[in-house]
Amino acid sequence: MIVKKNNLPKGFVYIDDMIPSVHLDIRYYGEYNFVGQHIDGYKAPLAIMSLKGVTALKKVSDELEKKGYLLLIYDAYRPQKGVNDFVRWSKDAKDTKMKIEFYPLLDKRNLFKLGFISSKSGHTRGSTIDLSLVHKSTGKVVDMGSPFDFFGDISNHGTKLINKQQTGNRNVLKNAMVKYGFKPYSKEWWHYTLINEPFPKQYFNFDVE
Q: Determine, yes or no, domain membership for 101.
A: yes
143 appears as a binding residue in the annotation: no
Single out the catalytic residue among 63, 65, 101, 188.
188
Q: Does residue 4 lie in a domain region?
A: no
130 annotated among ligand-binding-site residues: yes
| Count of structural domains within the chain | 1
Q: How far apart are CA 22 and CA 2, in angstroms?
A: 15
Strand 12-14 with 48-50, pairing: antiparallel
- For residue 143, the enclosing domain spans 12-194
pLDDT in tens, 85-140: 999 998 898 999 999 999 999 998 888 888 888 889 999 999 999 999 999 999 99
**Is 188 an annotated catalytic residue?**
yes
A 10 A CB-CB count for 164 gives 7
- 82: buried, middle or exposed (CB in 10 Å: 19+, 13-18, 0-12)? buried
Q: What CATH number should be reported for the domain holding residue 70?
A: 3.30.1380.10
Closest CA to 58 of 181, 195, 207: 181
Residue 40 assigned to a binding site? no
Radius of gyration of the chain (CA): 16
Q: State if pTM tops 0.85.
A: yes
Is 209 a member of any domain? no
